[in-house]
């Protein structure tokens, strides 16, 4: 049994399989997940767990070189955007931030290793994380 870190078996497995430039998404409870993409559903009830709670734990175990956000988050959810950008600034390596339309973000989830569904209920609380190289 794992002693610390993410104990969810599916998240742990996906993170272990990821290589450089592979992607993983973390989304709110309304983000549509393509049938061909693995769904890791953590949503317990509305708001639980929160998007930021899950994102912070994933970031602790994943080296990230780029994040992709929906343009709409800037106006529709500035509070969560602020938290995301603060987290990006605290990462141990430089991380690029890319903004795309929400429609484009949803389309990109098709190529993600998995989408982690949270209980988040605020708008546009979705992110795609691109894995960096460890060396």
70 annotated ligand binder: no
Work out the pLDDT band at 3, boundaries 50, 70, 90. confident
Kindly state the percentage of the chain with pLDDT values over 90: 94
Find out whether 28 is annotated in a ligand binding site.
yes
Enzyme catalytic residues = 20
On the question of pLDDT at 93 being above 90, the answer is no
pLDDT at 2: 82
> Do the annotations mark residue 4 as ligand-binding?
no
| CATH classification (class only), 10-131 | alpha beta
3-state secondary structure the chain: CCCCCCCCHHHHHHHHHCCCCCEEEEECCCCCCCCCCEEEECCCECCECCHHHHHHHHHHHCCEEEEEEECCHHHHCHHHHHHHHHHHHHCCCCCEEEEECHHHHHHHHHHCCEEEECCCCCCCCCEEEEECCCC
Question: pTM, whole model, 2 decimals?
Answer: 0.97
The full set of domain ranges for the chain reads: 10-131
- What average pLDDT does range 54-64 have in this prediction? 97
């Amino acid at each position: 049994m794992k002693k610390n870190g993410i104990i969810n078996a599916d998240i742990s497995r996906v993170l272990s399989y990821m290589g450089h430039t592979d992607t993983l998404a973390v989304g709110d409870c309304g983000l549509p997940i393509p049938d061909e993409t693995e769904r890791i559903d953590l949503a317990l009830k509305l708001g639980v767990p929160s998007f930021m709670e899950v994102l912070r734990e994933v970031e602790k175990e994943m080296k990230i070189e780029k994040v992709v956000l929906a343009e709409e988050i800037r106006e529709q959810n500035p509070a969560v955007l602020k938290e995301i950008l603060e987290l990006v600034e605290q990462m141990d390596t430089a991380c690029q931030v890319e903004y795309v339309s929400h429609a484009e973000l949803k389309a990109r989830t098709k190529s993600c290793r998995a989408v982690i569904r949270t209980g988040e209920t605020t708008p546009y609380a979705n992110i795609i994380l691109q894995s960096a190289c460890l060396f």
